[in-house]
Structure 1
Amino acid sequence: MLKVVQLSLLILFIFMVGCSAISKYDDNEAAIVKGQEITVGDLRFLYPDDTALDYLDSAIEVELVKQEVKEMDLDISDNLSEEKDGDWFGELPPPNAKDEGGKQIRKFAESQAKKLDMKPEDFQREYAKRINERNTYINTYLEKKLGDTEANINDENWIEKFGEDYHNLLEKLVDGNEDEIEVLID
């Protein structure tokens, strides 16, 4: 399980990019990917407003991966978290958390919950659920395309090659579906 979490964190790290403002947009559609919409609201839920638009490309990639997994009729259940609401990540750290990671998670959840008019605990559960679903589709896709991803996760050379292979897979997936991706915001 730890290796799956490490792989998920690696994938999220690969998605990280700069920043831009989203406040000028309503929570309407940001893109349509093979008929499935991605909304500004979806991005605002997962990311701070000052960086949310920077994740549109990765949201498009994740949507393509999700659709590809469904088209390939792959079973995602082996990669689903065993506990409800995203495993341990669904629990909000206490206000007096001592570790830096717990403090950052709580700060993010409180900020997002305030913006979305939610309780921080409710936000964290829903956030964990959405991230778990995204990672489940990504892990299922990667296992099918690249083989067993847990076997070599501690090998730094393998991690670098894996990142390149993953990037190439996504690039090929996006290029192959370019005509079915419509970005509606600039």
Structure 2
Amino acid sequence: MYKWFGCLMLSCLFFLSGCMSSTAYKDKDVAAVVRGEKITVGYLRFLYPDDALTDMVEGAVKAKLAEQEVKKMNIDISKQVIDIKESHGTYPPDELKSAEAQSIRTFADPQAAKLGIEPQEYYKKYTETSAKMVAYINTYTSEILGELKDDEFGIEEYDHHANELLDDLVEQNKEAIEIRIK
């Protein structure tokens, strides 16, 4: 269940890219404040390509709200994090030429270069960070909506309801959210 929804949520977050010159912002700059917790430009730069930062702020805000809600519910997400991390695998060796391997390298290599680290190290840290984010989102949505049924027709409908739920959470907290980069 978490593999499907996690991949779906991650895909939604990743492919919402836009255009901006992120060089106008420093890593320590605050991109958003969510109920008093800061999301920095550096955090967004770690997770997303530079040209997607402004479009990814809203997704990061939703993820932070879900995290805060799950923590309020006092739910342990450690098993979900492990499951999601395992579904991402590791950085593929050069000899692996599959479409999935190419996709990972296409994303991870420029991110690693931007951060001045090896792609394998970047991908490991990226999967750890994104697995936590996805686990919080999955846990929050499944607590409210129930578990996703493992049938091919339910995924799109569940995703729609999950996105509505997160949009409602943002709306309920709009006075406690400040987005500082646009």
Q: Do both share a fold (TM > 0.5)?
A: yes
Rate the CA distance shift 1:153–1:23 in 2: closer, same or farther, 3 A: farther
Question: What is the match of residue 26 of structure 2?
Answer: 26
Identity within the alignment, %: 35
* Equivalent position SS for 1:118: coil
Deviation at 1:142, TM superposition (A): 1.7
Partners of 2:3 and 2:87 within 8 A in 1:
no
Matches of 2:83 and 2:12 in 1, distance apart?
A: 25
Question: How far, CA to CA, are the matches of 2:83 and 2:3 in structure 1?
Answer: 12
Q: Do structure 1's residue 59 and structure 2's residue 55 form an aligned pair?
A: no
- Does residue 155 of structure 2 align to residue 154 of structure 1? no
Q: Distance in 2 between matches of 1:18 and 1:184?
A: 18
Unmatched tracts of structure 1, length 5 or more: none
Aligned partner of residue 31 in structure 1, secondary structure: strand
- Superposed CA RMSD in Å reads 1.7
C-alpha separation in 2, matches of 1:80 and 1:56: 22
Residue 88 of structure 1: CA displacement? Answer: 5.6
Kindly tell me the number of residue pairs found equivalent between the two proteins. Answer: 179
Give me the whole-angstrom Cα distance separating, in 2, the residues matched to 1:31 and 1:173: 16
Give the Å deviation of 1:175.
0.8
Match of 1:145 in 2: 144
Q: Which amino acid aligns with 2:70?
A: V
Counterpart code for 2:162:
Y
Answer whether contact 2:108 2:123 (CA < 8 A) is retained: yes
**Tell me, what secondary structure is at the counterpart of 1:57?**
helix
Q: TM-score, normalised by structure 1?
A: 0.89
**Does 56-65 or 164-173 show the bigger shift?**
164-173
1:12 corresponds to which of 10, 13, 19: 10
**2:35 and 2:177 in contact (8 A); partners too:** yes
Q: CA deviation at 1:23?
A: 2.2
Which residue, 171, 175, 179 being the options, matches 1:179? 175
Tell me which residue corresponds to 1:101.
Answer: 100
How big is each residue's C-alpha offset from its partner over 1:6-54, in whole Å with a ceiling of 9 and x where there is no partner? 2111112333324112222111110110111111111111111111221
Aligned-residue offset at 1:96: 2.2
SS at match of 1:171: helix
* Inter-CA distance 39–70: structure 2 relative to 1 (3 Å threshold): same
Contact 2:3 2:83 in 1 (8 A): no
Residue correspondence of structure 1 range 160-171 to structure 2 within 5 A: 160-171=156-167
More RCO (CA 8 Å, sep 6+): 2
Alignment match, 2:80: 79
**Which is further off, 88-97 or 33-42?**
88-97
When you count helix as a share of all residues, which structure comes out higher? 2
Gaps of 5+ in 2: none
Q: Distance in 2 between matches of 1:89 and 1:12?
A: 11
Q: Distance in 2 between matches of 1:14 and 1:120?
A: 23
- CA offsets 1:131-184 (integer angstroms, 9 cap, x no match): 1111111111122111112xx23232x222212211221111001111110111
